[in-house]
Structure 1
């Protein structure tokens, strides 16, 4: 797994590239005496490369976290009985496994839960309770509440959605 230290290392290299680009001049002139600011092509290229490296490192770290979450959910999905928001022992174990890659970084996650009911308010309420229960378990496993968003959906219309199964996605840091 890519650690926070790895991303910090990438950022440090990017900063070094930016500083080198900002300080250097390849024409031997004294750039501080120039009153008109000009961007040197090499500097622009180095700045773009540094920025891209930082973005890539962050995206890679988030993808590694998402891959770990996906593996846990594929092995043991978080599922609910119809009309219920109760978590089983297996669900709690899965949530604890999901929490592991979320520790030691600032990745934010979105929990999407669904429910189906003739009464739309009931469906929304059950979906929210499902998401809140998962969020509470993640929090008790060491994931800060501020990094967790619950997105409940009652009576989804997409035929491909598994109504009684939760999704957890990394949405940023």
Structure 2
């Protein structure tokens, strides 16, 4: 499913500079023609629709107080899908102000919905890029994340 999302992002949304608003019928035909499996296409389109819903409705978190000194504790299910390296990268992105609490929670929700236990840093970067693309007034964070996605060398966390 992630391959479909990246394909859509590179070939449809980013080129048009439009929000993640989808027309299932139009996309279904295009993606089938591109060689993707129909069941995975439906999952990917639903994933995008859920991303738009998160943006429009906000993210409901269990955080009562946000603080620069607080740290996100991941649930067992979140740890199952987001490995230690990727959780560290999310923390790094918070520290450099690419993600805030709301966009971090949006990214975590999108990553969990992929139901993929083999996500690596490149996958995480693409998902976060898609989330930031869909956030109003997030141009600066999107630009920073875009640089990280396109970077040839890996970011070293210390």
TM-score by length of 1: 0.27
Report which of the two structures shows the higher radius of gyration computed on alpha carbons. Answer: 1
Query: Which structure's residues are more often strand, by fraction?
Result: 1
Query: Which structure's residues are more often helix, by fraction?
Result: 2
TM-score by length of 2: 0.29
